[in-house]
Amino acid sequence: MPQRLLVVDDHKCIRDMVRLSCQINGGNEFIIVGEAWNAATALELCQQVRPDIVLLDIFLRHENGLAVGEQIRSLIPETKIIFFTCADEVAFIREALRIGAAGYLLKTDTDANTLPNIIMKISKGNIVFPQGKLYCAIENEELSAEQITALSLKAYGHTTKEIAARLNKSEKGIEKIFSAAYEKLGVRNVAQAIYVLTKRGAI
């Protein structure tokens, strides 16, 4: 069944690009069920059409797209939020992760040819974040992106079961990810691992 996609961006050219990209490169994988240019319209459409995925900009004409994403997550927890933005600051990316976003795509790094494939990857349970930004504080890149993502989600209060669902793995698989991270960091448990990463500014 095609994924139902809602596009939220205050620039019509971006909304048009996403629609055209999905039509040309998305095959029958997506149906765009609505477009919104501000927070009020986005929230109204979410309640009306209940999309599977919301592609959401962070800056919406003096409105905070991160706050909109958090409201959508509260209204429809099963909807996947993908931020599609020019904002590459690490603080925004961390906030998106805290909210429970499934993806964070930079407009400068994502073109019309690759966007549908990335959205489909996320729709199947993968999480896509710009590693170079989110993980820049990790010394010597000693942890994998998967290990840092799992620990970040744990730090923001997600259960092991929730993390397993987000990363498309079993709970036992998540515990193995944690154990490997403990060994690399020289710690004994998740609390110590989170403390070390927080001190480094990674989460």
Quick one: 121 and 145 in the same domain?
no
Which of 101, 133, 165 is where one domain is finished? 133
Quick one: 125 and 141 in the same domain?
no
pLDDT reading at 202 higher than 80: no
Q: What are the φ and ψ backbone dihedral angles of 138, each rounded to 5 degrees?
A: -80, 120
Amino acid 197: pLDDT: 76
pLDDT reading at 136 higher than 60: no
Which of 106, 133, 160 is where one domain is finished? 133
Classify residue 31 as left (phi > 0), alpha (psi -120 to 50) or beta: beta
18: containing domain: 3-133
* pLDDT tens, position by position, 147-199: 888 888 888 888 899 888 888 889 999 999 999 988 888 888 888 888 777 77
- The DSSP 8-state label assigned to residue 157 in this structure reads T
Q: pTM for the full model? A: 0.70
Quick one: 149 and 123 in the same domain?
no
- Rounded Cα distance, 147 and 143, in Å: 6
Residue type, 63: E
Strand partners for 32:
5
- Rounded Cα distance, 66 and 97, in Å: 10
Lowest mean pLDDT of 120-129, 139-148, 149-158, name the range. Answer: 139-148
- What is the token pair recorded at 93? 């990316």
Amino acid 137: pLDDT: 35
* pLDDT tens, position by position, 54-80: 999 999 887 899 999 999 999 998 899
Quick one: 127 and 139 in the same domain?
no
Quick one: 127 and 54 in the same domain?
yes
Q: Which residues neighbour 162 within 8 Å (Cβ) at sequence distance 6 or greater? A: 153
pLDDT reading at 47 higher than 60: yes
Average pLDDT over residues 21-43: 89
For residue 11, what is the domain's CATH number?
A: 3.40.50.2300
Amino acid 132: pLDDT: 59
Q: For the chain, what percentages of helix, strand and coil (3-state, to nearest 5) are there? A: 55, 15, 35
For residue 159, what is the domain's CATH number?
A: 1.10.10.10
Domain count for the chain: 2
Quick one: 87 and 112 in the same domain?
yes
Amino acid 151: pLDDT: 87
Quick one: 105 and 14 in the same domain?
yes
Quick one: 155 and 113 in the same domain?
no
Quick one: 113 and 158 in the same domain?
no
How does DSSP assign 58-121, residue by residue? SB-SSSBHHHHHHHHHHH-TTSEEEEEES---HHHHHHHHHHT-SEEEETTT--TTTHHHHHHH
Quick one: 83 and 164 in the same domain?
no
CB 88 within 8 A of CB 41: no
Which of 115, 133, 151 is where one domain is finished? 133
Considering all CA atoms of the chain, what is the largest pairwise distance in Å, rounded to the nearest integer?
51
Amino acid 200: pLDDT: 66
